Amino acid sequence: MKQYHLNAVEEHQLFVRAPDSASRGKEVKVVWTFDADFSADGPNTVTVLLQVSAGDAGADDPKDDPLVSLSVSHHFDSEDYEFEVTHLADPDRQSFLATLLGISLGTVRGLIYARTVSILGKRLVMPIVNPTAMLRHLVEERGWGGPE
């Protein structure tokens, strides 16, 4: 059984755009964008960097004019796991990283709610994201699977 603990959560950037007076009270459909990266700060330390944003689905490009944007690092230690950002096709490594990614996503979900509720009200809630599916997509997209 792999054991880990969360050492620190660092917010790097937070942006919240208050609605203009014309759009207050109107329902806005939101498009969420997620990105993650992993790094090894030592043989037993993993950092998960998450970047999450929510943009107006009616905008030309919701990514260019977000309602909310947040970048957060989560620093984990594990005494019995050595981490590399290569060969992530290994199911054991993917399972471990998906667990850390899930913890990170849950923390960011709470941060976004806490940081935006006073400005945007209780209407903006980050959706549940499947960390295993997100990790598989990242491994495929970035070629982290290692040699075939």
Whether the pTM exceeds 0.95: the reply is no
- 100 pLDDT tier (thresholds 50, 70, 90): very high
Domains and CATH numbers, the chain: 5-142 (3.10.420.10)
Report yes or no: 19 and 27 within 8 Å, Cβ to Cβ: no
Residue matched to tokens 């941060």: 111
- The closest of 82, 113, 102 to 14, measured between CA atoms, is 113
147 pLDDT exceeds 70?
no
Q: Flag whether pLDDT at 16 surpasses 70.
A: yes
3-state SS assignment for residue 109: helix
Q: Among 26-35, 99-108, 118-127, 134-143, which range has the highest average pLDDT?
A: 99-108
130-139: pLDDT as tens digits:
999 999 888 8
Query: What is the structure's pLDDT at 148?
Result: 46
Is pLDDT above 80 for 146? no
Residue pair 33/52 in contact by the 8 Å Cβ criterion: yes
What is the average pLDDT score of the chain? 83
What pLDDT digit, counting tens, does each position of 68-81 carry?
Answer: 999 999 999 987 77
Please tell me the distance from the alpha carbon of residue 18 to that of residue 133, in angstroms, as a whole number: 32
pLDDT > 90 fraction of the chain, expressed in percent and rounded: 35
Higher pLDDT, 138 or 123: 138
Confidence band of 50 (pLDDT split at 50, 70, 90)? very high
